[in-house]
């Protein structure tokens, strides 16, 4: 690697029903590729069984926490393991999410938008619903929700901030509507004090590029919004995936540090070359 490894804060467990590997497997993979810090962030429970096929059940939350804490304690001389969660921002569920966050001792909580209304726009089973949307309208609806997720003040990291492009549906980047919805989203993130996730997951998806787009990375860097790295690993082989690619992009826009989290306090780590 060109860069000294930074924390990878986005990885899942089989409890979400679409990932493989134990926490220990993820931790071992991290150690094998030279990482010093990771955090688990499985898909959180949601109220009313909402899209429950794609997330852990509330009854699994304690086992999830115990597994992370046991791995953290067992490996404490080799790897820092943080206790995190990827919660959904879905209007109407804020009180549930707030109470779930308050009930446990998280190192960080990622807030992600995976739904516009009932449409799981990044779910391959729902891809046909794109036929009902103009791309620009879907992007604006999506960025509006990401903006609201930041304004909610619930989250430490704003997850994969242009996930809407996952399958390669593109907005008109020159449209003033798109530009202003991106800008409003970033202004809300800036105001919230949360970090923006730079995610390598898009490299493994049809869109074939990191989240968010370089244009958004550049503007966030200009605004001084902190970044946190995530591979969004759903398998231990994906731990640390694309880290150098993401860090090179950050460096090209003048970013010199990356966020680290402990007990929901953010500190910045200098980016250094290996
Ligand atoms: Zn997932
Ligand atoms: Zn996600």
**Which pLDDT tens digit goes with each residue over 77-102?**
999 999 999 999 999 999 999 999 99
**Whether the predicted pLDDT of 244 surpasses 90:** yes
- Domain contains 104: yes
Confidence at residue 262, expressed as pLDDT on a 0 to 100 scale = 98
**Whether the predicted pLDDT of 67 surpasses 80:** yes
Confidence at residue 15, expressed as pLDDT on a 0 to 100 scale = 97
- Whether the predicted model's global pTM rises above the 0.75 cut: yes
- Domain contains 129: yes
Span from the CA of 47 to the centroid of ligand 2 (angstroms): 17
- Domain contains 255: yes
The CATH number for 90's domain is 3.20.20.140
Span from the CA of 15 to the centroid of ligand 2 (angstroms): 14
DSSP state, residue 122? T
Long-range contacts of 52-61 (CB under 8 A, 24+ apart): 53/17, 54/16, 54/17, 54/18, 54/120, 54/123, 55/16, 55/17, 55/88, 56/13, 56/15, 56/16, 57/15, 60/15, 61/100, 61/104
Ligand that comes closest to the CA of residue 235: 1
C-alpha–C-alpha distance, residues 97 and 218, integer Å:
31
Span from the CA of 217 to the centroid of ligand 2 (angstroms): 18
Span from the CA of 176 to the centroid of ligand 1 (angstroms): 32
C-alpha–C-alpha distance, residues 129 and 121, integer Å:
8
Task: For residue 221, name the pLDDT band (cuts at 50, 70, 90).
Answer: very high
- Domain contains 226: yes
Range of the domain at 148: 14-270
Strand partners, 29: none
DSSP H helices, the chain, are: 23-32, 61-74, 94-102, 135-151, 176-192, 214-223, 243-252
Confidence at residue 106, expressed as pLDDT on a 0 to 100 scale = 98
Q: Angle at CA 168, nearest 5°, toward 252 and 124?
A: 125
- Domain contains 7: no
Ligand that comes closest to the CA of residue 163: 2
Span from the CA of 112 to the centroid of ligand 2 (angstroms): 6
**Whether the predicted pLDDT of 148 surpasses 80:** yes
- Domain contains 117: yes
Nearest CA-CA partner of 257 in 211, 230, 221: 221
Tell me the average pLDDT across 126-137.
Answer: 94
- Domain contains 21: yes
DSSP state, residue 215? H
Q: What is the pLDDT of residues 14-46, one digit of tens each?
A: 999 999 999 999 999 999 999 999 999 999 999
C-alpha–C-alpha distance, residues 102 and 163, integer Å:
27
Task: For residue 49, name the pLDDT band (cuts at 50, 70, 90).
Answer: confident
- Domain contains 108: yes
Confidence at residue 1, expressed as pLDDT on a 0 to 100 scale = 73
Tell me the average pLDDT across 45-70.
Answer: 94
Confidence at residue 20, expressed as pLDDT on a 0 to 100 scale = 98
Give the total number of structural domains in the chain.
1
pLDDT above 70: percentage of residues in the chain? 100
**Whether the predicted pLDDT of 154 surpasses 90:** yes
3-state class (DSSP) for residue 121? coil
Tell me the average pLDDT across 188-195.
Answer: 98
Tell me the average pLDDT across 252-261.
Answer: 98
Q: What is the pLDDT of residues 103-112, one digit of tens each?
A: 999 999 999 9
Report CA 97 to chain centroid distance, whole Å.
16
Average pLDDT value over all residues in the chain: 97
């Amino acid at each position: 690697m060109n860069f000294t490894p930074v924390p990878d804060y986005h990885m899942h467990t089989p409890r979400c029903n679409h990932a493989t590997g134990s926490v220990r497997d993820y931790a071992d993979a991290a150690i094998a590729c030279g990482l010093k810090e990771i955090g688990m962030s499985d898909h959180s429970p949601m109220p009313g069984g909402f899209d429950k096929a794609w997330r852990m059940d509330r009854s699994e939350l304690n086992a999830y926490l115990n597994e992370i804490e046991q791995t953290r304690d067992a490996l404490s001389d080799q790897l820092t393991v943080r206790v995190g969660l990827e919660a959904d921002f879905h209007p109407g569920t804020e009180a549930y999410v707030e109470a779930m966050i308050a009930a446990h001792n998280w190192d960080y909580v990622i807030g992600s938008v995976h739904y516009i209304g009932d449409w799981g726009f990044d779910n391959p089973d729902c891809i046909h619903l794109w036929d009902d949307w103009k791309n620009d309208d879907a992007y604006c609806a999506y960025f509006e929700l990401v903006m609201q997720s930041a304004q909610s003040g619930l989250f430490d990291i704003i997850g994969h901030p242009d996930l809407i492009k996952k399958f390669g549906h593109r907005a008109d980047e020159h449209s003033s509507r798109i530009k202003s919805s991106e800008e409003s989203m970033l202004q809300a993130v800036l105001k919230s004090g949360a970090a923006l996730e730079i995610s390598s997951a898009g490299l493994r998806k049809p869109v074939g590029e990191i989240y968010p787009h370089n244009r958004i990375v550049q503007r966030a860097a200009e605004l001084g919004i902190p970044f946190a790295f995530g591979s969004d690993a759903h398998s231990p082989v994906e731990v640390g995936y694309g880290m150098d690619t993401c860090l090179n992009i950050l460096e090209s826009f003048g970013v010199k540090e990356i966020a680290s989290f402990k007990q929901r306090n953010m500190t910045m780590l200098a980016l250094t070359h290996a």
